Structure 1
Amino acid sequence: MYENVINASYDPIFIADKRGYGIKMNEAYTRVTGITEDQLIGRHLKDVVKDGIISESVSLKVLQEKRRVTIIQHVNGKDLLVTGNPIFDENGDVSYVVTNLRDISALKHLEQELMKTKALADRYLQQIKVYQHREDTIRHEGVIANSPNMLRVIHLAQKIAPFNSTVLLLGESGVGKEVIANLIQKWSPRSDKPFIKVNCAAIPKELIESELFGYEKGAFTGADSRGRPGLFEQAHTGTIFLDEIGEMPLSLQGKLLRVLQEFEVTRIGGRRTIKIDVRVISATNQDLESLVKQGKFREDLYYRLNIIPIHIPPLRERQEDIPLLAHYFLERVNQKYRLHKQFTDDALLAMKSYAWPGNVREMQNLIERLVITTETDHITALHLPFSHSTSLEMKQASKTLKDMVRNLERELILKAISEYKTTRKAAQVLGISQSALVKKMQRLGI
């Protein structure tokens, strides 16, 4: 019975006598340590340690201290948690030491991994703290520049800000062209001067000339009897930002070109020219070169605007910025509504995997909606509309011909978009219309 009980134990057991000799070990001891009976039984434990079979003996420590002792023992490359328990005789002397052990090598590995993870998390937190303190470049009005692509944009904006050269900001809708314009204005010598923003697509075509260049009294029916200075005059000594410049009517582009060349305006109904000192920053999400070829945009105006072009990358090309941007907008919305919502790790991973066709503007609006509508304080991947649809598709996926065609379409479209950057060019390469490509992308969840 004694033999059966010891060998039935899943945990290793070793027994030494009061002189320090090994007298018994079970099968589990050999299984865990790799040590056989001939290496321990009948041998003094000092000799076992001397031969390097075990790193140190817990039994000898128990015999010396006459109490339970636990140590970390190294055997055959393993870390073992070893506990020696004394058995006392009627005189109070130790007659036997019973040792049991546990293999903690896996726990040691997990501890090391945990330490690495903690160190990595601490490094990320330190980086975020650095970003939070660099208000002028990293967190100014929503700009988060952790990715190399966006850092290049920020550094270029900072480099050209002190000069009065005309700047053309290029990029998809929602990437933050106006934010970069704000940075250039802030870092320029005109930072304390007027900064006039004009959305060329938002002003009716019949009014845009009077808005930009002003008019004299009595210039047309309904005009202010005192006349009115245009936005270029209002921007005198400062900066004017012409957003959506691609929407500028062709009939007005010639007059804008003259203003940019001569830096003077003539009001509608007026005869005198008015000298102005303005810096011009324009922006568009359109391909102006293509518009020039189509005759929809003046070539000379394009070259006049394109002195310093700055291409702002879409959010899908600056994945390093996505978690920081998400936390930035979350913090703002939490403060706005006095809430304490948080993102879970899977939500941030889902955000990094998403293509963000609406770019930063889409993210900002989505986060505000999530903060308001989510019932719990933790926003998970399941709360994200794109994550849910993707998960559903994966669950329903099967190896049918239809699914294989769908996957192939998705792969080809992603490759074309990655290489040619715009849906127009990608559609040409794929041999379909731009509208058909956009519909396919929406259907495929791209």
Structure 2
Amino acid sequence: MTEVPRSASPGRWLGGMLASAALARAFTIAVLGAVFSAFVIERVAGRVTYISIIVGLCVIGAGMLIARRREISLVRLVPTTVVLFVGWAFASVFWSQDASSSFWSWLYTAGLAFLAVTIGHVRDTLQTARALGDVMRVLLSLSLAVEILAGVLLDMPIRFLGIQGNIAQLGPIQGIFGTRNLLGFVAVIALITFLIEYRTQSVRVGVSVFSVVLAGGLAALSDSPTVLVLAVAVGLAVGALALVRHAKPRDRSALQWTIGGTVVAGLAIGYAARHPIIALLGAGSDFATRVGLWTTMVDYLRSKPVQGWGWFGAWDASEFPFSAINYALRTTHASGLNAYFDVLLQLGWIGLLLFTAMAGVALVRSWLDASERRSVIYAWTPLVLVTLLVDSMFESFTLTGFGWMLLVLCAVRAGQSRSWRERIGVGEDDPVLPHVQEGPSGSR
């Protein structure tokens, strides 16, 4: 973009700045950094500070989209599945037990979705992965540093951050993310991003090696039972995607159907052999806790099976039915420990169908795109989606915070390359986001 002279009018100068590539990169890093650091920001500065940051970023994001309005088509702005799911979540406010709390929870959900949509239109996939890689290196390094401080140098827990200081005993550790499961989840996402950086030669080899070792080490030290499952799922996805990418074009369709059938069969076998698998992972008691929680959630769902109890995202322990569920189980769960059951409880069967449609359509679109495009950068979106959807069977991270934002971002990415909107005739005056050739030489 042509640089706007300093002597230009304030309005033109502001518009030029909001549409600049430099601000787009800074905005992306700021959004990812803030959302991934939500736990530590709230513990250090309070919830109001974090919400203020998100509101400020939304205002800047709106200004950026307005400044770039000539290169963005409104009909291609947000995937239909995302609009339907967020719209149904908003509708649930009207039958929620606490409409006010439900509305503010929905507004937070919509705000994160808006930030994801903005990033999806001001940065391409390579630039987004680079920004996420930079943020992950800082946050994971900080997590390792505070764990060493608590577990080795001070030999005492840092209670306000939830850090127990167990690194000397090789875990479990939580870092700055609050729980070991969340640290393990973040480490797997980071590992995918770092490997993509390495394959696209986006950073120096030394930086890539350090990043991969850092993410892998923290994933192991988290001692999270879900990390191994995520690693196996992502590894299988990488192998399947590599097989499809190297197949001849005429054989890809049959191969894709074969892989799809294998996945369905694998899920059926995994469910049938769930007890031996759980015993092998040493997660018997943890799984028993989850089963008890899910059973209780289903009991409460019977009262409102179609529409659910209203959208809250993360559980509010003072709200019904979450308070009743925790009371019945004598626990203090902050989520349903399963994104699908959580959506079912809060938004009913309609919400679950919309959620699975949103995630499923995004996965299919991004998978087909990655199997046909030459650059390996296109593999980032489906691999992140696989991680999100598999983790959703054990945690509800995909419904809140950075998990939800990544899901919407991946849906936007997938919709930009494969969508029914591509079949709409585009006239000369219809603005579209120009195709960006993504590769190692892409701008940061």
User: Please, what TM-score do these two structures have when normalized by structure 2?
Assistant: 0.21
The structure that is strand-richer by fraction is 1
Structure showing the higher helix proportion among its residues: 2
Tell me the TM-score normalized by structure 1: 0.21
Larger Rg: 1
